[in-house]
Amino acid sequence: MSTTRSTIAELSGHAGEEVELLAWVRNFRSSGKIAFLILRDGTSLPDGTPEVQAVVSRGDVDEESWEAANAAHYEASVRVRGQVRADARAPGGYELSVRELRVLGPSADYPIQPKEHGPEFLHDHRHLWLRHPRQVAILRIRDEVEKAIRDFFYDRHFTLIDTPILTGSIGEEAGELFETEYFDLGTAYLAQTGQLYVEAAAAALGNVYCFGPTFRAEKSKTRRHLTEFWMVEPEMAWTDSEGNMAVQEAFVAFIVGRVLERGRAELDVLERDVSKLEAVTPPFDRMSYTETVEYLRGKGSAITWGEDLGGEDQTLLTEDRPKPVFVYDFPKEAKAFYMKENPEDPRTVKCDDLYAPEGFGEVIGGSQREDDFDRLLARIREEGLPEEAYGWYLDLRRYGTFPHSGFGLGLERTVGWMCGVPHIREVIPFPRTINRLTP
């Protein structure tokens, strides 16, 4: 008779029955006549506990099983047959009484041991470190955030537009491009943004968004920078800067709400203070750039009018703040060429950055786009951008120009904030930074 195969998640439906579980050994201990294995398989018990205890009693199992239980290694893969027992005292409410244990893949000298390892060591072993309960919880939250992003826009009838990764035009900063040779066509760049393309799509479909990996050859070694990161970029026709901020506020509140609703067990594993997330309800704070500079100087920053907010300014601005804060209408020279000149103060542009609380910093950059052909062309020339590469982008102002706005939300910055993880390289499965290309 074959034994029913079960995952940890399915055990609760098999109380009292014998099942077969395929899993990895997360922990073990033995005391003479009885051995305990903590097993994980990537699923969770009904209360969210991502592991189950398997109890091996010497008298109940064959010799091979008993030896295997006593020679267990971290992260060995095993096949266990045994009876599922509902037990209120067991973590997660269920336990396995083992009848047979077989090691499928031994794991002698597993490199990650239950002791302090430095971050570089852990990142060198990222392919194995992913199995740690904290990392599993982070990846689950990331998945929830991605699903929330897609649901938010799908439910509001935004059309998903997949934009190219190989591009011929510079989206953001000329100095931060990865280049590659492209046949007879010269240099191609890895996309820094999908924005210019979703602007074209907005004239076709109204409200659209792209969501994918983007690349920045930034020489920043900060806790907030990756060279490859994921960004979601909505673009909305007939929407001004005010309307843009209203969508950003609703969007961020939606993501936070979803993580609180569906990610409780993972937030528990991460020991995240959920009251900090529960406080993130609209309306968010709003400050003009000029007010923000005064505020920061009052807190000891050396920022002067005209500069973008640096990492330390972002921390200063948000460390004591329970809610996210919008800073709007930045100086032209601090921001990208495509932002719309502010008719009320032409030294500034109609844009906003949204900064997350607790010191997490900028999660969104957004703006109303320059929709006037002559002004946009002048800005392209001022920035010294290659005009010929922007012919198609200027066409959007030549043929049926329209007020439109959009923004980019950084996925890793958002997930780091949700998880309470300060360094964003820990929230992407395989981070790419200035000094890391493997694993």
Q: Which is nearer to ligand 4AD, 81 or 335 (CB)?
A: 335
Decide: is 352 part of the binding site for ligand 4AD (CB under 6 A).
Answer: no
Q: How far is the CB of 76 from ligand 4AD (least distance, A)?
A: 36
Decide: is 231 part of the binding site for ligand 4AD (CB under 6 A).
Answer: yes
By C-alpha distance, which of 333, 336, 356, 359 is closest to 346? 333
Q: What Å distances lie between residue 143 and 25, 248, 411, CA to CA?
A: 25, 20, 10
Q: Which is nearer to ligand 4AD, 47 or 162 (CB)?
A: 162
Task: For tokens 């203070």, name the residue.
Answer: 273
Cis previous bond, 164, omega within 30: no
363 binds, among Mg ion, ligand 4AD, none (CB under 5 to 8 A by kind): ligand 4AD
Using the contact rule CB under 6 A, the part of the chain among 226-234, 270-278, 310-318, 387-395 near ligand 4AD is 226-234
Per CB under 6 A, contacts with ligand 4AD among 203-222 are 216, 218
Decide: is 53 part of the binding site for ligand 4AD (CB under 6 A).
Answer: no
Q: How far is the CB of 350 from ligand 4AD (least distance, A)?
A: 12
Distance CA 381, CA 291 (A): 30
Decide: is 415 part of the binding site for ligand 4AD (CB under 6 A).
Answer: no
Q: How far is the CB of 183 from ligand 4AD (least distance, A)?
A: 27
Distance CA 215, CA 438 (A): 16
Q: How far is the CB of 410 from ligand 4AD (least distance, A)?
A: 2
Decide: is 410 part of the binding site for Mg ion (CB under 5 A).
Answer: no
Decide: is 425 part of the binding site for ligand 4AD (CB under 6 A).
Answer: no
Q: Which residues of 54-71 are buried (b: 16+ CB within 10 A; e: fewer)?
A: bbbeeebbeeebbebbee
Q: How far is the CB of 397 from ligand 4AD (least distance, A)?
A: 17
Helix (H, G, I), strand (E, B) or coil at 407: strand
Parallel/antiparallel/unpaired status of strands 159-160 and 207-215:
parallel
Decide: is 416 part of the binding site for ligand 4AD (CB under 6 A).
Answer: no
Q: Which is nearer to ligand 4AD, 39 or 236 (CB)?
A: 236
Distance CA 423, CA 433 (A): 12
Decide: is 225 part of the binding site for ligand 4AD (CB under 6 A).
Answer: yes
Distance CA 81, CA 67 (A): 15
Q: How far is the CB of 306 from ligand 4AD (least distance, A)?
A: 18
Q: Which is nearer to ligand 4AD, 2 or 435 (CB)?
A: 435
Q: How far is the CB of 373 from Mg ion (least distance, A)?
A: 25
HSE-up of 220 (CA within 13 Å, CB side)?
Answer: 17
Asked whether the beta carbons of 321 and 361 are under 8 A apart, the reply is: no
Per CB under 5 A, contacts with Mg ion among 348-407 are 365
Gyration radius from the chain CA atoms: 26
Q: How far is the CB of 238 from Mg ion (least distance, A)?
A: 24
Asked whether the beta carbons of 53 and 38 are under 8 A apart, the reply is: yes
Tokens in use for 400? Answer: 């049926």
233 binds, among ligand 4AD, Mg ion, none (CB under 5 to 8 A by kind): ligand 4AD
Is residue 302 exposed (0-12), middle (13-18) or buried (19+ Cβ within 10 Å)?
Answer: exposed
Is residue 150 exposed (0-12), middle (13-18) or buried (19+ Cβ within 10 Å)?
Answer: middle
Q: Which is nearer to Mg ion, 10 or 176 (CB)?
A: 176
Decide: is 50 part of the binding site for Mg ion (CB under 5 A).
Answer: no
Distance CA 183, CA 179 (A): 13
Decide: is 82 part of the binding site for Mg ion (CB under 5 A).
Answer: no
Q: How far is the CB of 136 from ligand 4AD (least distance, A)?
A: 22
Q: Which is nearer to ligand 4AD, 141 or 363 (CB)?
A: 363
Distance CA 68, CA 37 (A): 11
Using the contact rule CB under 6 A, the part of the chain among 68-76, 298-306, 358-366, 378-386 near ligand 4AD is 358-366
Distance CA 82, CA 21 (A): 8
Among 193, 239, 301, 342, binds ligand 4AD (CB under 6 A): 193
Among 103, 363, 418, 427, binds ligand 4AD (CB under 6 A): 363
Q: Phi, psi at residue 150, to the nearest 5°?
A: -65, -40
Decide: is 412 part of the binding site for ligand 4AD (CB under 6 A).
Answer: yes
Cis previous bond, 439, omega within 30: yes
Q: Which is nearer to Mg ion, 94 or 289 (CB)?
A: 289
366 binds, among ligand 4AD, Mg ion, none (CB under 5 to 8 A by kind): ligand 4AD
Residue ranges binding Mg ion (CB under 5 A): 365
Residue ranges binding ligand 4AD (CB under 6 A): 171-172, 193, 195, 216, 218, 225-226, 229, 231, 233, 362-367, 406-408, 410, 412-413
